[in-house]
Structure 1
């Protein structure tokens, strides 16, 4: 969460509070020794900002256009499953906080509440999806997604298997319900695990079946992006799963420019991973992203203080972004271009 603002105090976790320990294991669990998770945040700081001066910044406008839709701000609440483990109101609290702050919700298909219940609070939203091996399981769910008002589907493709997160598995497993609220006919949640055989054909099928724009989440390479777009996807979410899958992967800030240059304004690009401040958002958009997704700071806030804490983190982050727009002399988001940034000496090729 933002280092300088909006950071709630963690609730003390008692020695016998197994559910709180499980939630923390889930939220804070990372792959390997956490190098990727740490590297995500550090990578944004390797871009120094070169502000404009003598610009009229009396009014700043944080609105962005994503998939042809005007959003109040560039912040998308990243999807994460089972938010009820962190707070009894789970996704309902997150959706309410996001909507009141002008952030856009991306809802996990593994949510603790039915998608219709959450969408009634959030309004138009993005639906995250893990595509299981049995495609017949997901068809009824996709029909509900369309009816609930989703304006895009984000299919996660970077987890054909679960990364090494021993603390996550040990802590959360006892509290994971056997059935999913969004797939009530499925008796074993393992049936819903992401398939190991997802290919470009599945992206084409998803787009044709739902009629919605498809975002492919978990892309880090330009050549993969080209394949994704050729399959009919409307865009990608540049993501390494927050460092929770494969440790040692490239930070998303470093992967972003290659992907932006590959799509060359022909597709939507969203980026997540290590976004902690308004200046991080500014850097991401200046590098070519259309929007950013924020996950861990909001998950931590939900566990620490429920809806109120999530609202505060989002409010502070958006205020920080507005301030960054003014201080760089760029009152509107389209004015954020790469010439605002300079790689720090340590990150320049020798």
Structure 2
């Protein structure tokens, strides 16, 4: 009978993907609506439109993988984040897709970060992207001034630093005046996060799940989704800043339900030895039975031999009668 693979884990993957998309959309809208996050770039208007549209989602109960897939297609804003970059993907205007088609390569539905161009109409720049950008010019300018660095590398670093500074200047220039002053004065509406406290909460949630005593998780399965439910943090926070803790939890969960190969080999060897021992015990029992039968036979033969000896001895004690006397004839 052929074995059938268990693909139920695909349901967890689909649900986690849907939750990640919804939480990212909620976080994007919260930053726009409450924190007045500024967005610039050619796709800024489309970014705001898609984010506002996703914010109207109120939740829905799903019971099958097909329902999750359909809901994911309906609620996915197709906004992709990378290092210091936000792609509001639109296949018709994506330069990465056009480049792949020109090269005769298959074009996927999503963006290709390795072929991204700064002139692409799908790019948007958020305050979060600018925060990442601000950390890069200093490093690049240091590399450009380093006399030990080859000249082509220095020129490339200087050009890259100038390009990043231009992006930052355009972003700040397009910011509404009142909001720009608020940012320059240091006023922030988002509370500072305690990342160490978040890590402690994730670790404590992992310990409760592994121990089988999770008070928050509805089912207590050893998955990333249940870890997020148990720790009470947002998915983008857990996966964005503490993904290594999720990987550590998954590794421990796998080890908890996994038998090492050396232990499995010892268990198999133990089974073989037990079977051999049982066979030897059966052979020994049969041999002992044969020995007992031989002992009984030897005893019986010994008794018969003794009886035969006694009978022989008794026969030797019988008095022998003399035979008839021979008559002699007197010669004439």
Q: Under TM normalisation by the shorter chain, which class is it?
A: under 0.3
- Bigger proportion of residues as helix: 2
Q: Which has the higher contact order (CA 8 A, sep 6+)?
A: 1
TM-score for both structures, normalised by structure 2: 0.24
Tell me which protein shows more strand as a share of its residues: 1
Q: TM-score, normalised by structure 1?
A: 0.23
Q: Report the structure number with the largest CA radius of gyration.
A: 2
